């Protein structure tokens, strides 16, 4: 099946440092969604990117969709302890109910 690779698997930063997670596919993505899962919680939708080269911002979070629609990134500026959790990208095939998730990047933020 479709493989969506996500790197890194884990990152530990100090509060105030920036953080980026990358999502890569071997094929062209229809669109990409990003989710955040807090420790002990469930995934919560953050955003969806549809267009080639699209960039969207949510406060300190910046989401990008590659020009070739084969990769995406989530960048957090000046991390805070509230950013702790696992970030997943997910490809939406646009058919049926198929969302293929990346393996996730676990972010740990310390003071």
Nearer to another protein by Cβ, of 35 and 63: the residue is: 35
Residue 69 is given by DSSP the state S
Residues between 4 and 63 with contacts to another protein, criterion CB under 8 A: 6, 9, 30-31, 33, 35, 41-45, 48, 50
The strand pairing partners of 68, in sequence order, are none
Beta strands in 26-95 (DSSP E): 31-37, 44-49, 55-58, 61-65, 71-76, 85-92
Helix (H, G, I), strand (E, B) or coil at 3: coil
Establish if 108 lies at the interface with another protein (CB under 8 A): no
Nearer to another protein by Cβ, of 18 and 45: the residue is: 45
Residues of this chain that bind another protein (CB under 8 A): 1, 6, 9, 30-31, 33, 35, 41-45, 48, 50, 88, 90, 92-104
């Amino acid at each position: 099946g479709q493989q969506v690779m996500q790197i890194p698997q884990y990152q530990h930063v100090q509060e105030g440092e920036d953080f980026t997670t990358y999502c890569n596919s071997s094929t062209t993505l229809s669109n990409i969604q990003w989710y955040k899962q807090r420790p002990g919680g469930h995934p919560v939708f953050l955003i969806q990117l549809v267009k080639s080269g699209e960039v969207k911002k949510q406060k300190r979070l910046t989401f990008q969709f590659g020009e070739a629609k084969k990769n995406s990134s989530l960048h957090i500026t000046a991390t805070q302890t509230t950013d702790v959790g696992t970030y997943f990208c997910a490809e939406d095939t646009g058919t049926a109910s198929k969302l293929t998730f990346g393996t996730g990047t676990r972010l740990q933020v310390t003071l």
